[in-house]
Structure 1
Amino acid sequence: MIILGLTGSIGMGKSTTSAMFEAEGVPVYDSDAAVHALYAPGGAAVAPVEAAFPGVVVDGAIDRVRLSARVLGNPEALKALEVIVHPLVGSDRIAFFEKAAAAGKDIVVLDVPLLYETGGDKRVDKVVVVTAPAEVQRARVMARPDMDAAKFAAILARQLPDAEKRARADFVIDTSQGLEPARQQVRAILQALRHPERLDDGAEAAH
């Protein structure tokens, strides 16, 4: 079973691309969704995160806005949070892979926003980077209701530059041309992985 890492900076269209892989029948492990579940009422992260950052739990769940305010721009606080959350996500991810293997899936996608930043690229077989021009990225991000320039800058500061991600990727998907071209790139990548002897030109190999 091929583990395909999917990553991309904020606003590049990664979530939409992830859904395209799912539409092609490829199981997708969404690390953000896993964290949401851990932060929800009854989630395994609620108690330890509240112990480390008192006051971030509201109505039995971790309030991500409050937590973000505590860790953004604070490397020590962020590291403390990662020490709690990463092992929990890791256990969940292993269970997901085991289920996919048992179902006979030949490819699974590991959707991780900070794949390179956390060293996650070492745990996958190939990496797809989702990209778009900087002006498209900024327009998408700034259109979000909870976003401002300072928050956008803080998020970008945690992420490798897009150019570096593209340079390190096995495949690159450009989402700036619309949904159908992106969907064709997804299909071409799956074809290339399943039949490497006839690499489709539609999959933009990064190397």
Structure 2
Amino acid sequence: MKIYGLTGSIGMGKSAVAAMFRRCGVPLFDADATVHALQGPGGAILPAIEARFPGTTGPQGVDRAKLGAAVFGHPHELRALEAIVHPAVQAARRMFLRRHRARGFVILDIPLLFEKHGERRLDGVIVVTAPAWKQRKRVLARPGMSAAKFRRIVRLQTPDAQKRRRADHIIHTGTTFTRTRAQVRALVACLGRKAGR
């Protein structure tokens, strides 16, 4: 089984592309969705988070504002949180890979793939990209987003141009939905042939 990583900077359309891969029948592991489930109501890591950061969880799961305040600007606290979250996500990913081991290939949706050097353990990387003006327009349309916040997020991410240089495959979302979907379908066929399926 081949394992490919899917990544892209904020506002590039990665979530839409991930949904397209799923509709093509490709098994896809969503790291962000896994974290949300682990931290949501009844989430497996809530007791550990509450023990380390008292008062940051409740019946609805993690209180993101309170947890954010506890770790933002405090590298030691952030590392403590990551030590709780990352092993749980890795365990979920291992379970996903076992469940789909008979498939020719799978995709791991990992937003901070390059930032965390996750590409080393993959058979290839798919980068989702769009023009900078379109990225900015998409992100600033989100509730609670500001130009300053957008700039801060972008500064923390590997630049799009660098991601594209390091990619094995690129999906462009600066075009129509139909054309983006055609790119995804073509890539699924290509990866299927490489996997002998």
Does TM, scored on the shorter chain, surpass 0.5? yes
CA shift in 2, pair 1:99/1:122, >3 Å: same
Q: Which amino acid aligns with 2:64?
A: R
Query: Residue 72 of structure 1: CA displacement?
Result: 4.2
Matches within 5 A, 1:159-198: 159-196=157-194
Partners of 1:49 and 1:78 in 2: CA distance? 12
CA RMSD of aligned residues (A): 1.7
Residue 32 of structure 1 pairs with residue 32 of structure 2: yes
**Paired residue for 1:43?**
43
**Paired residue for 1:111?**
109
Query: Residue 70 of structure 1: CA displacement?
Result: 3.7
8 Å contact kept, 1:173–1:182: yes
TM-score (norm 1): 0.87
Deviations 1:93-136 (A, max 9, x none): 100111111xx321111001001111211122110000111111
Q: Which amino acid aligns with 1:77?
A: E
**Paired residue for 1:205?**
none
Matches within 5 A, 1:1-207: 1-101=1-101, 104-196=102-194
Runs of 4+ displaced beyond 6 Å: none
Partners of 2:70 and 2:160 in 1: CA distance? 26
> Where does structure 1 lack aligned partners over 5 or more consecutive residues?
197-207
> Where does structure 2 lack aligned partners over 5 or more consecutive residues?
none
User: Which structure ranks higher in relative contact order (CA pairs < 8 Å, sequence separation ≥ 6)?
Assistant: 2
For these two proteins, the number of residue pairs brought into alignment is: 194
Partners of 2:42 and 2:125 in 1: CA distance? 33
Give 3-state SS (helix, strand or coil) of 2:100's partner: helix
